[in-house]
Amino acid sequence: TWGYKVGILHGERTHQERKRSLSAFREGRYQILVATDIAARGLDITDLDVVINYDIPHVKHDFIHRVGRTGRAGKEGVAVTLVSPDEIEQLNDLHKVLGSRIKEVILPEYAPKEVKARGFLLHAPQRRKKSASAKREASAPRPGMNKKGKKRKTTKRDGFKAFDAAKKTKETQSKKRGRGRK
């Protein structure tokens, strides 16, 4: 953290841990507060000068919630969003949602020197041989299947709702009526 004290807010921290981090940040014991979108919603921090977005949010309206933490009550604030070349399309979508363009500053010292081509796997990785128990497990019939891997017929005891013993075809019903009567 290069000498900065950092607090964190995310959904896997308990409510008490999040409260302590937020209090410490408000009191100045933390100079930086790192928060996920979920944890940052609804935060009210006075005198927040800068919000840095590590990425463009997947839900574009979350951007407004993120940058809305700074410059409150008529005060000045700065929001910085780091954008990689892969995120240009997302940035353009964000411009549409906002109805205006965000001022872009290209930092040549951080620009990629060259774009590396994606490689291809020329051979399949060697697979591990399955143990005897794994082979038996793989060949064992799954629930609802017979030994040959075909679906077995359902019966009333299976609890299959579509099977209704009370509904018989007309042919079956007529045969039953004829029993015992001659």
- Where, residue-wise, is CATH 3.40.50.300 in the chain? 6-110
Whole-angstrom distance, CA of residue 83 vs CA of residue 91: 8
Instruction: Give the CATH class of 6-110.
Output: alpha beta
Query: What average pLDDT is seen over the chain?
Result: 71
What percent of the chain is predicted at pLDDT more than 90?
Answer: 7
The answer to whether 71 and 65 are in contact (CB under 8 A) is no
User: Closest by alpha carbon to 57, among 38, 37, 39, 40?
Assistant: 37
14: tokens are 């308990």
Span 120-162, pLDDT tens digits: 544 444 455 556 665 555 565 555 555 555 555 544 444 434 4
With residue 80 as reference, give the H or E element that holds it.
strand 78-81
What is the secondary structure of 13-56 as a DSSP string?
Answer: S-HHHHHHHHHHHHTTS-SEEEE-HHHHTT---TT--EEEESS-
Q: What is the pTM of this model?
A: 0.54
Query: What distances in angstroms separate CA 11 from CA 18, 19, 28, 61, 137, one per listed residue?
Result: 9, 12, 23, 19, 38
